[in-house]
Amino acid sequence: MILQTQRQKSGHAPAMHVTALAVMALVLIYALGCAHIHPNQHANLIGCLWYATPGKQHDTLDLGAAELDAIQSLGMRLVVLNGPWFGSTVAAAETDPAEHLFAEGDRRHLEFFVDTGALANWWVQPDSVAELARARERIQLLHQRYGHHPSFRGFYVPYETYVMWGAQRDLTRILYREAAAACKAVAPTKPVMISPFFILDETHVLGDFRWATPLEYSDFWMEVLRGSTIDIVALQDRGEHLSYYTDEQCAPFFAAMQHACDATRKQFWANVETGELTVGGPEEYVARFGRKTHVNDPRTQPYWRSVSAEKLAAKLRFVRGYTPTAITWGYREFVRPTSGRSSTNLCREYREVLVQPRTTHTN
């Protein structure tokens, strides 16, 4: 998740009573539309994001056979591959370690979405020229290198953002549009996925990030999605990853993004996070870390935890009101059996949530 530190401070929008009524109407429409969903049903968790690093053995990545076994044991079949190791330069006498991964994916009938990368601090570039040149070159290379594999399902454009204003709004819209177009230019049938987030920190506890209403949020994403060849929007489900955020706080933004996707005919998924920053509330956050401390500040690191199986089930039930399909960030970092942060018991509990219910009801 990226929180742009250069954003302007929030100001109240004019005619706030009109905005509030519009947002309430939007949430009500989708709440009524989801009323038929059985309370025990949840979204189908089909995959996870994985930031690949070198494996223990030469010419391998850390996403090996044992990790794929664990992923598939939870009923997941899709992995969003992040990191610079895909398409990297390989010496003449060496084998591209990603080739082994894609070949194994072919054998297992897995689906991989591959990260198209981004310049550091892409949102403060003076224009789109350098970033688009880099993106187009990488997209072509990725397809040339791995496009023949059936497991290469699509592309992931990693401009993870919220809402932009002014010149940054134009830059963001252009980058999304043109990066997606570059993906379609080399592989017209492969879907393009993005994963935005939203901010719930209206009182600026975490920093001076300009806060947008759900209506502004919906308008921004309709603007980005309209006319683009983006196919899938996987919305991050908890904004700044804080454990104290509730479904009720998140619901207006899920309704807003669903509305934007429906209006532009995009697939709407959820990115249900299985890692979180554990803290009791905003007052506790300030007492522990200080006001205006970013969630990714090193001081917060000891307090990140895996999401319990019970909470995962609740999250999946919540997002099922908006979409039947979910992926997850946090599995690699906090849940996998080899992460060192969790036990095999947690994965067993996850299996009870994710796999066993499928035999009793349809998602």
129 has a pLDDT exceeding 60: yes
285 has a pLDDT exceeding 60: yes
Quote the pLDDT of residue 72.
97
Non-local (6+) Cβ contacts of 273 within 8 A are: 236, 237, 238, 241, 307, 315, 328, 329, 330
For 12-81, give the secondary structure using H, E and C. CCCCHHHHHHHHHHHHHHHHHHCCCCCCCCCCEEEEEEEECCECCCCCCECCCHHHHHHHHHCCCCEEEE
Q: At what angle do helices 97-108 and 65-73 cross, to 10 degrees?
A: 40
Confidence of residue 11 (pLDDT cuts 50, 70, 90): very low
Quote the pLDDT of residue 3.
43
Confidence of residue 21 (pLDDT cuts 50, 70, 90): low
Q: What's the rounded Cα separation, in Å, for the pair 96 and 91? A: 9
Quote the pLDDT of residue 194.
98
- β-bridge mates for residue 197, sequence order: none
Between these two residues, 302 and 209, which has the higher pLDDT value?
A: 302
Q: Among residues 357, 360, 363, 334, which one has the least CA distance to residue 347?
A: 334
Quote the pLDDT of residue 60.
86
* Contact by Cβ (8 Å): 260, 225: yes
55 has a pLDDT exceeding 50: yes
362 has a pLDDT exceeding 50: no
Quote the pLDDT of residue 201.
93
CB atoms within 10 A of CB 308: 15
Mean pLDDT of 64-71: 96
Tokens read off for 354 = 């994710």
What's the pLDDT tens digit per position in 287-311? Answer: 999 999 999 999 999 999 999 999 9
Quote the pLDDT of residue 239.
79
Non-local (6+) Cβ contacts of 150 within 8 A are: 106
Mean pLDDT of 118-124: 94
* Unique residue bearing structure tokens 């709407």: 268
Mean pLDDT of 314-338: 96
40 has a pLDDT exceeding 70: no
38 has a pLDDT exceeding 90: no
- β-bridge mates for residue 115, sequence order: 156
Quote the pLDDT of residue 178.
98
What's the pLDDT tens digit per position in 232-260? Answer: 999 999 978 999 999 999 999 999 999 99
Tell me the average pLDDT of the chain.
88
pTM higher than 0.85: yes
Quote the pLDDT of residue 275.
96
Q: Among residues 56, 112, 122, which one has the least CA distance to residue 87?
A: 112
Mean pLDDT of 102-127: 96
Tokens read off for 149 = 């594999």
- Give the DSSP H or E segment for 236: strand 232-236
What single-letter DSSP state applies at residue 331? I
* Unique residue bearing structure tokens 């040149």: 133
Q: Which domains does the chain have, with CATH numbers?
A: 39-359 (3.20.20.80)
Quote the pLDDT of residue 91.
74
Tokens read off for 344 = 């095999």
Quote the pLDDT of residue 340.
72
Quote the pLDDT of residue 291.
95
The alpha carbons of the chain give a radius of gyration, in whole angstroms, of: 20
Q: What's the rounded Cα separation, in Å, for the pair 31 and 51? A: 35
Quote the pLDDT of residue 77.
98
The string of DSSP codes covering 251-309 is HHHHHHHHHHHHHHT-EEEEE--SEEE--S-HHHHHHHH-TT--TTSGGGGGGEEEPPH
Burial label for 211, CB within 10 Å (0-12, 13-18, 19+), is: buried
34 has a pLDDT exceeding 70: no
Q: Among residues 38, 5, 21, 18, which one has the least CA distance to residue 324?
A: 38
356 has a pLDDT exceeding 90: no
Quote the pLDDT of residue 357.
61
2 has a pLDDT exceeding 70: no
Q: What's the rounded Cα separation, in Å, for the pair 16 and 10? A: 13
